[in-house]
Amino acid sequence: MKRLIFILVLLLSQTTYSQSWLTREEVYWFAGMGVDLRNATIGGTVNDASYDGTFSIGYRNVGFSILAYYETFQAIEYESMGVNPGFVLRPGKKFTPAADLSLSFIRRPWKTYPSLALNARAEYHFDRFFVYLRGENRWRTDYDFYQISVYGGISIKFGFE
């Protein structure tokens, strides 16, 4: 898994330098953090309102996006981590829709499970950062059901000229 991430980052960084005609709105790295909005406000199906946060780092190159993330939800002893390759519609615009596939793992105190999720994002971009809403449909292999969640967050752009 680490080798795959390293190879993808290496290949993507090489394409960044070979495509100097692209603008900074279309090619950049980003780091972000977010929160599950339902769990933070009213609680979930098995928990009271509590912090369920995500941390991510990613790369954008015009219509392609890839990010690695970590999610922690201590109230139910849940962690998730994975890699999300995806695509971006309307790169370089203020309002940018995006979608990705999450290839991930769910870690519980008793076992680690593979997991899969489909994500749809609505982003609003400013010069050096963007805010987002992300809808997620995750196959919760730790309990064998599908879970729909909505996250909100902010990402900082960096690494462009």
Instruction: Please compute, for residue 28, the number of CA atoms within 13 A of its CA located in the half-sphere on the CB side.
Output: 20
Measured in whole angstroms, the distance separating CA 96 from the mean position of its chain's CA atoms is 14
The one-digit pLDDT tens for each residue of the chain (161 residues) are: 555 455 555 555 544 444 444 565 689 999 999 999 999 999 887 789 999 999 999 999 999 999 999 999 999 999 999 999 999 999 999 999 999 999 999 999 999 999 999 999 999 999 999 999 999 999 999 988 999 999 999 999 998 65
Q: Name the amino acid, one letter, at 155.
A: S
- The alpha-carbon radius of gyration of the chain (Å, integer) is 16
Domain count, the chain: 1
* Range of the structural domain that residue 75 is part of: 2-158
Using a 10 angstrom Cβ sphere, with 0-12 exposed, 13-18 middle and 19 or more buried, the burial of residue 117 is buried
The residues facing 105 across adjacent strands are 81, 114
CA 64 vs CA 58, 61, 70, 99, 153: distances in Å: 11, 5, 20, 10, 20
Q: What is the pTM of this model?
A: 0.82
DSSP notation for 42-72? T--SSS-S---EEEEEEEEETTEEEEEEEEE
Helices (H), 19-125: 37-41
CATH number of the domain that residue 28 is part of? 2.40.160.20
The residues facing 95 across adjacent strands are 124
